[in-house]
Amino acid sequence: MSLLTPASEVIERHLEHFTDRHVILAGDIQDELGATLEAASVRVLTNQYHRWKNLQPTLGDNVVFATTVPAEFIQPCDTLIYFWPKNKQEAAFQLDDLCTHLAVGSQIFVVGENRSGVKSADAIMEGISTLQKIDSARRCGLYHGELEHPTEFNISRWWRNYQLDNVVVNALPGVFSNSELDIGSDLLLSTLTEPMNGNVLDLACGNGVLAAVVGSQNPNVTLTLSDVSSAALDSATATLAANKLTGKIIPSDVYSEINDKFDWIISNPPFHDGINTSYNAVETLISHAPKYLKKGGRLRIVANAFLPYPDLLDKAFGGHVVLAKTGKFKVYEAIKR
C-alpha cells in the first residue's frame, strides 16, 4: 500500500463526514485512499492509467479510468471528494462534469496543496456551491459545501485547437501544450525533417502533435500513440481524426501495455507527477527503450537541458548525440546497435 499524500492525510482528519455516505473520489488521485476509506460505498474516477491499475485489484468496477464520469457510475453517490490538480482549467473542466450528475444537496469536499492553487476553488465553484474552508494542515486546504445548482456540462465548450502549418491540434484542459505548441516540442519537430519509415511510437503523446506532424509528412509510417492520461488520449484521438490520420491509441504507464518493436520512439516526456517533480517515467522510458526498438531503431527525445539524461542514454545505448539545443532545451538521439 502506498503512502498517503498530504491532501489525503487531511481527508483522514475528517473521516466522520464519510461513514454513512456514498462517496466518489475524483480529480488528481495520487494514492490509494479510495481503497481504504471507510464509507457506505466508495467509487473512484481517475484519468491516470497507473492510478487505475493500482486501485482496480481492490476496487474492481468501483474505479473507472476516464476523462469524464459515466452518468451511471456517479449516480449512486451523494458525496464528492475532489483532489485539486495543478491546472486550474482542468479543475474547472472536471468539476463542471462532476456537478452535472450529482443531486442538489450532495456534499462536496475540495482538497489540495496550497501551491497547487486550491485557494481558487471557491471562485470556480461560485454559483454551484458555496465552499467554506474547514481545515488547513500539511500545507493543504480543505473546503466544504453542498451542491446548490448543478451544472450543464457540454464537452464541446472545453475543446481547444490550434494550427501548426497544415496540422490541426485538438486538446482538452490539463493536457500539456493544450492551447499552443510548446518550445520543447517545436525544437524536437525541427529535427524530424528527414524521411521516416516503419513503426513510430509517440510515447507520452499528450495532444498527439508529434505523431500528427510525423504522420502528415510521412504517409507510409505506422503510428502508435501512448499516454498515461485519458484526457491526453482523447485529445490525441481527436488530433489524428482532424488530420485524417490513423494510429493505434494505447493507455500505458510508459511501456506497461506496449508489446511491439519500433523503428522510432519519439517523446517530449514529462518530469512531473501531479505537482511533484518525478523522473521515474523518463528513467524507465530511456532505460527500457532498447527493448522496444528494432536494430537500428532510434530514440529521439527533447528535455530541459539541466536534466540528467545523457548518462541514462549512454548507459542504455552506449552513446548518444545532441541534435539541437537552445539555452533551455536539448534534443537527444540514441540508436540501438
What is the per-residue pLDDT for 278?
52
Q: How far apart are CA 103 and CA 167, in angstroms?
A: 42
Distance CA 313, CA 113 (A): 34
pLDDT band at 1, cuts 50/70/90?
Answer: very low
pTM of the model: 0.95
Band the pLDDT of 3: cuts 50, 70, 90: confident
Q: Give per-residue burial for 155-181: e unless 16+ CB within 10 Å, then b.
A: eeebebebebeebbbbbbbbbbbbeeb
Contact assessment for residue 301 and residue 266, using Cβ atoms and an 8 Å cutoff: yes
DSSP strands (E only) in the chain: 22-27, 41-46, 63-65, 79-83, 107-113, 132-137, 140-146, 160-164, 167-171, 199-203, 222-227, 248-251, 262-267, 272-273, 276-277, 293-304, 321-325, 329-335
Handedness of CA 51, 250, 279, 119 (dihedral sign): negative
154-172 tens-digit pLDDT? 999 999 999 999 999 999 9
Report whether 46 contacts 231 (CB < 8 A).
no
- Distance in angstroms (rounded) separating the CA atoms of residues 28 and 106: 20
Reported confidence tier of residue 272, pLDDT bands at 50, 70, 90: very low
Compute the average pLDDT of residues 2-14: 92
Counted residue by residue, the chain has a size of: 337
Instruction: Identify the CATH homologous superfamily for domain 159-336.
Output: Vaccinia Virus protein VP39 (3.40.50.150)
- Is 6-155 a CATH 3.90.79.10 domain? no
Same fold, 6-155 and 159-336: yes
The 10s digit of each residue's pLDDT in 126-147 is 999 999 999 999 999 999 999 9
| Side chain identity, residue 150 | P
Q: At residue 318, what is the residue type? A: G
Angle at the Cα of 174 from the Cα atoms of 51 and 247, rounded to 5 degrees: 75
Chain centroid, CA 238 distance in Å: 16
Who has greater pLDDT, 182 or 270? Answer: 182
Query: For residues 324 and 333, is the Cβ–Cβ distance under 8 A?
Result: no
* Every domain of the chain and the residues it spans: 6-155, 159-336
**Nine-digit cell at 207?**
495532444
Contacts of 159 (CB under 8 A, 6+ apart): 170, 171, 172, 238
